[in-house]
Structure 1
Amino acid sequence: MRVGILYSRIRRDEKLLLSELRERDHEVVKVDVRKQRFNIADPPEDLMEVDILVDRCLATSRSLYATQFADAYDIPVVNDHATAEVCANKVKNSLALEKAGVPTPNTDVAFTKDAALESIEGFGYPCVLKPVIGSWGRLMAKIDSRSAAEAILEHKETLGHYEHKVF
C-alpha cells in the first residue's frame, strides 16, 4: 500500500510512524505541506499515487485545508477533515465530548461582550477565556477580576476576525 504522510515537520512521532510503515512493507510518500501546492480541480501528482493519507500537520490551518483538498480528490485520510475541524474548534470539540459523555469543564459560549461578561461573572474569578479557534494555548487568558475581563473582552472584540467575537 502507498501511504502518504502530510507533514510540516518530521518529529519523533512521525519518524516512528514512518519507520513502522516501512517495516510493514508500505511504500511511504512524504508530503511537506509547506511546499505542496493544491489545485482546486487537479490533485498534485504525488497525491494521485497514494492509497491513503495520514495527516500529521502541526499547523491547524494547513491541516484543515490539506485534508479538505484530499477529501475533494477522493483520497481517504486518517485524521480526516471532519475530525480536524472538530478538533480545531473548541465549541464543536466541547459539544462532541459532551455528547459522547466525556467529562469536560463547565463551559459557556457567548456571542456578545455583555453576554460573555455575564458568563464570566457567573463562573467567578479566576476563570479562563479561550478563543474558539487556536492551538498551543495561544490567546488563552486567565481572568482574575471584572476589570481584567472587560479589558480582555474589549481586545477580543477589536481584533477584527469574527472568531474572536465568539466568547
Structure 2
Amino acid sequence: MTYYIAVDIIRHDEKLIIEAFKNLGINAVVIKVDSELLPLVDSKTLEGSLVVVRPLSAYNAIYSAVAFESMGALTVNSSKTLYLCNDKILTYGCLIREGLKVPKTYIALSSSPLQTVSSRLQFPLIDKPPIGSWGRLVSYVRDSVDLKMISEHREFMGPLLKTHVVQEVIGLGKDLRCIVIGDEVLGCMMRKASDGEWRSNVALGGTVERYPVDGEVAELAIRASKAVGAEFAGVDLLIGDGYYVNEVNGVPEFKGFIKATGIKVHEHLVKYLVSSSKR
C-alpha cells in the first residue's frame, strides 16, 4: 500500500500527519494538488494506494478526491462525503434522513421568502449560506431590519451565497466539536466564543476545553459521521434541550482539539488508515 497526503497548503495538522506516518516507518508522498495537473481518467494507476485528502479549499479537496478515485485510489474522505459536508443543506438532509436532531431550519432560495420567516421562527435567529467555514457569513439576526440588511448584502454575492439557511438559536456562544475516526469517538471539546463575539469558532478566537463524552454524545457523533459516509470527521453539536447536530466537517482541523484534550489525533488517524488498508 502506498500512502499519499493531498494538500494545497501544508498546515500544522498536515505536518503532524506526515510525522505520524514516519513514526510507523512509512514515507507518505505529499501531493500539492494546486500545483499538479490531475488526470481524470478511468485507470488503475493508483490502485493499491490510499490518499488522505487534506486541502484547505473545499473544492480543491472534492475535485482532487474525484481525480484520485478515478485512478483507482482509496480516499479518506471520499469525494461524495466531502461534497456532502461542504454544503450545509445537503448535510442536514443526510442527518434528518437518519433521524438525527438538527436545529429547526428553513431554506430560502432567494431573499423574497425571508419576508415570511417571522411566521415560522422567532427572532433572534441564525442566517448563514449553505457553504463556508470558520463562521464566515454566519449572522446573528436580531430582527427583521437585520435580516433585510443581510439579504440585501448577500444579493451581490455568488449564487450559493444568495441561498439562506435560517435557523433557531440554540446554545449561543458555545458548541461541541467531537472527532470521529471509523466507529470511534476520540473525544470532544467545548468551544466558547471570545469576548465580543458570539461565534465559537477557534479561528475567530474561541477558547477550548475538554468535554466528557457520554454514551449519548458518542452515539450522536458516530451516527452523524456515518450519515455522510465519513471515516474521519469533526462533528459539531449544539447544546439546548438536549444535543443537536449542527455540522459535519470532512476535513477537520485538530490543532485546537489536541490543545484541549491532549489526544494525538494524527497518530490515531494514521494507525486507523494503516490498519484499515490491510483488511
Whether TM exceeds 0.5 here: the answer is yes
Conserved? CA contact 2:14–2:54, under 8 Å? yes
- CA, structure 1 residues 82+59, in 2 after alignment: closer, same or farther (shift >3 Å)? same
Q: Distance in 2 between matches of 1:87 and 1:75?
A: 20
Question: 2:52 aligns to what?
Answer: 54
- CA, structure 1 residues 86+120, in 2 after alignment: closer, same or farther (shift >3 Å)? farther
- CA, structure 1 residues 86+42, in 2 after alignment: closer, same or farther (shift >3 Å)? closer
Is 1:152 the counterpart of 2:150? The answer is yes
Q: How does 1:1-167 map to 2 (within 5 A)?
A: 1-41=1-41, 48=46, 51-159=49-157, 161-167=158-164
Q: Distance in 2 between matches of 1:136 and 1:29?
A: 28
Identity of aligned residues (%): 25
Conserved? CA contact 1:55–1:79, under 8 Å? yes
Q: Distance in 2 between matches of 1:49 and 1:112?
A: 44
Structure 2 unaligned blocks of 5 or more: 165-279
**Deviation (angstroms), 1:41:** 4.1
- CA, structure 1 residues 92+120, in 2 after alignment: closer, same or farther (shift >3 Å)? farther
Conserved? CA contact 2:48–2:72, under 8 Å? no
Report SS of the residue matched to 1:84.
helix
Conserved? CA contact 1:120–1:127, under 8 Å? no
Conserved? CA contact 2:47–2:73, under 8 Å? no
- Greater helix share, 1 or 2? 1
- CA, structure 1 residues 49+82, in 2 after alignment: closer, same or farther (shift >3 Å)? closer
Scaled by the length of structure 2, the TM-score of the pair is: 0.53
Shifted more, 55-64 versus 24-33: the winner is 24-33
- RMSD between aligned residues: 2.3
Q: Which amino acid aligns with 2:141?
A: I
Conserved? CA contact 1:6–1:56, under 8 Å? yes
- CA, structure 1 residues 8+50, in 2 after alignment: closer, same or farther (shift >3 Å)? farther
Q: Which amino acid aligns with 1:162?
A: P
Q: How many residues align?
A: 163
Q: Which amino acid aligns with 1:4?
A: Y
- Greater strand share, 1 or 2? 2
- Once superposed, which parts of structure 1, at least 4 consecutive aligned residues long, lie more than 4 Å away? 47-50
Conserved? CA contact 2:88–2:131, under 8 Å? yes
**Deviation (angstroms), 1:37:** 2.3
Q: Which amino acid aligns with 2:156?
A: T
Q: Distance in 1 between matches of 2:118 and 2:81?
A: 29
Residues 29-61 of structure 1: per-residue CA shift (max 9 Å, x gap): 001223222234499xxx848711011111112
Report SS of the residue matched to 2:28.
strand
**Deviation (angstroms), 1:89:** 0.2
Q: Distance in 2 between matches of 1:49 and 1:23?
A: 24
Shifted more, 117-126 versus 92-101: the winner is 117-126
Structure 1 unaligned blocks of 5 or more: none
